[in-house]
Amino acid sequence: MDKQNNHIIVTEDIKKNYKDNGVEVPAVRGVSLEIARGEFSAIVGPSGSGKTTFLNIISGLDTPSAGKVWLRGQLLSEMTGKDLSDFRRDHIGFIFQAYNLIPVLTVEENVEYIMLLQGVPKVERHERVMAILRDVGLEEYAGRLPSKLSGGQQQRVAIARAMVSGPDLILADEPTANLDSKTGAELLEMMRELNIKTGMTFLFSTHDTMIMERARRVITLKDGIIDSDEVKG
């Protein structure tokens, strides 16, 4: 029990099978892992290695075929759909490869969305949104629609959205895949700084060597199992 309480993520023999034309195909074949609070880690591996499936399972977006997941000491399988929604809202920030901002909402409205779900008062929402936009260098773009921003700027908004409510864990799927290397490097630096400044845990799923180089821990998945787990000094 101490293990679950001392780590933000604990998984125990996670397995996930998909059905493909009636045939069961294993995507994850028994992954046990602990991620400590404040880590800046990356799960790497080739396409089809099970990274995305594993991230979906540990964030409660998908259910495992077998095994258990604890997030902040709470067993996900014991939560209802509504509890999981609230848990993700309050404790997990997501950064997606394709930004996935809501196109009809302005930058400010996109960033405040999660706080709105949390019922944070309007004045406080505005203050926190403007503060995080200042941190990501987009304060002047608060009233713009996502379509009026560059890819790098949109990903900054996505990072601001993920972090603004102060979650314990940020899950980022290929966050630099759609960006040029310079913008990608800038964003990684920014995320690392926020990781150090706030103590939030960052877990990436990536092919990007730039992320692998900056991550403090690199977990390699191969054919649905952990092939290596390297912690940098």
Q: How far is the CB of 233 from another protein (least distance, A)?
A: 30
Q: How far is the CB of 2 from another protein (least distance, A)?
A: 29
Q: How far is the CB of 1 from another protein (least distance, A)?
A: 27
Binding to another protein (CB under 8 A) within 112-141 occurs at: 113-114, 116-118
Q: How far is the CB of 26 from another protein (least distance, A)?
A: 16
Is there a contact between 225 and 29 (Cβ–Cβ < 8 Å)?
A: yes
Pairing assessment for the beta strands 66-71 and 7-20 based on DSSP bridges:
antiparallel
Binding residue count for another protein, defined by CB under 8 A: 32
Is there a contact between 173 and 165 (Cβ–Cβ < 8 Å)?
A: no
Does 191 engage in binding with another protein (CB under 8 A)? no
Binding to another protein (CB under 8 A) within 34-73 occurs at: 52, 55-56, 59, 61-62
Q: Distance (Å, rounded) from C-alpha 71 to C-alpha 141?
A: 34
Binding to another protein (CB under 8 A) within 66-105 occurs at: 81-82, 85-86, 88-90, 93-94, 96-98, 100, 102-105
Q: Which amino acid is it at 188?
A: L
Binds another protein by CB under 8 A, chosen from 205, 206, 214, 224: 205
Q: Distance (Å, rounded) from C-alpha 115 to C-alpha 166?
A: 10
Q: Determine which helix (DSSP H) or strand (DSSP E) holds 194, and give its type and residue range.
A: helix 181-198
Q: Distance (Å, rounded) from C-alpha 114 to C-alpha 142?
A: 16
Q: Determine which helix (DSSP H) or strand (DSSP E) holds 167, and give its type and residue range.
A: none
Is there a contact between 16 and 57 (Cβ–Cβ < 8 Å)?
A: yes
Our CB check for another protein shows the closer of 58 and 218 to be 58
Positions that interact with another protein (CB under 8 A)? 52, 55-56, 59, 61-62, 81-82, 85-86, 88-90, 93-94, 96-98, 100, 102-105, 113-114, 116-118, 161, 171, 173, 205
